[in-house]
Chain A
């Protein structure tokens, strides 16, 4: 796959994603948010950061950038889209994924490594990962995933819950929920499985930095 790493003013995980791509032999290119096409790419990564300084709501202003129309059409045609952290916030603001990311329940910016459990899901980026545990960094102030109970049921029924915050043993409890997310949700996908949004940073645990994020970039290498 050839991967587009999309940059907005305030993006700061673009080079981390590029590093992870290089480490896993994934071909990539940077795409500025004012561009209007994703021609020649098979996957778009919306990296983490503070697009537009997190003004208004995290990811809200970026979701109106010119490239986002291309992302929307690209995703509709089955193109792979991954939103990491601020990128996940953009995907919910765009309406490509349901729900919203609210302020962490303790109102603090949280930066630490957490354990995550893969659920059985339709996500194309995590096939054969159900039940596995990984330890990844989170670094966010607005990572508290919220959706209505009806939406949560739909997500669960359709196999769209991909990752949950868990204990090192894989128990999904409130004690191991760092930010107050509904049902410990850390990552979700759409029904088709080609759009994936997650708050943790797999790109920070690849190559010399670890192995727990390699699964994502290995999929992109295929």
Chain B
């Protein structure tokens, strides 16, 4: 069984209010002024499928190409 990780992130030019809110709370209430934070999704997949199939899964279901990019990592 292979292990894949798929990371889906909002594109850089898309407003990410969730990331902005986390950054603001971390800075204003906890004192962590760490710069830009962006929030994405992380999927762990255990499968015998080929990387090609996982790429298709990531493209067609796990992400929306209008606003998100994805990355497939095989480990």
Contacts and interface: CB of A to CB of B under 8 A. Distances in A.
Contacts, number: 31
Interface in A21-73: 56-57, 60, 64
B74 to A, nearest CB: 22
B15 interface: yes
Contacts of A92: 66
Interface in B1-36: 14-15, 17-18, 21
Contacts of B37: none
- Chain B interface residue bracket vs A: 10 to 19
B5 to A, nearest CB: 16
A103 B67 CA distance: 12
Contact of A146 (B14, B61, B62): B14
Given A107-B21, A180-B15, A102 B67 contact: yes
B48 interface: no
Contacts of A146: 14, 66-67
Contact of B17 (A60, A64, A100, A107): A107
A24 to B, nearest CB: 34
Given A60-B61, A64-B61, A105 B66 contact: no
A153 to B, nearest CB: 16
Interface in A61-104: 64, 92-93, 98-100, 102-104
8 contacts: A92-B66, A98-B66, A100-B64, A100-B67, A102-B15, A102-B67, A107-B21, A180-B15
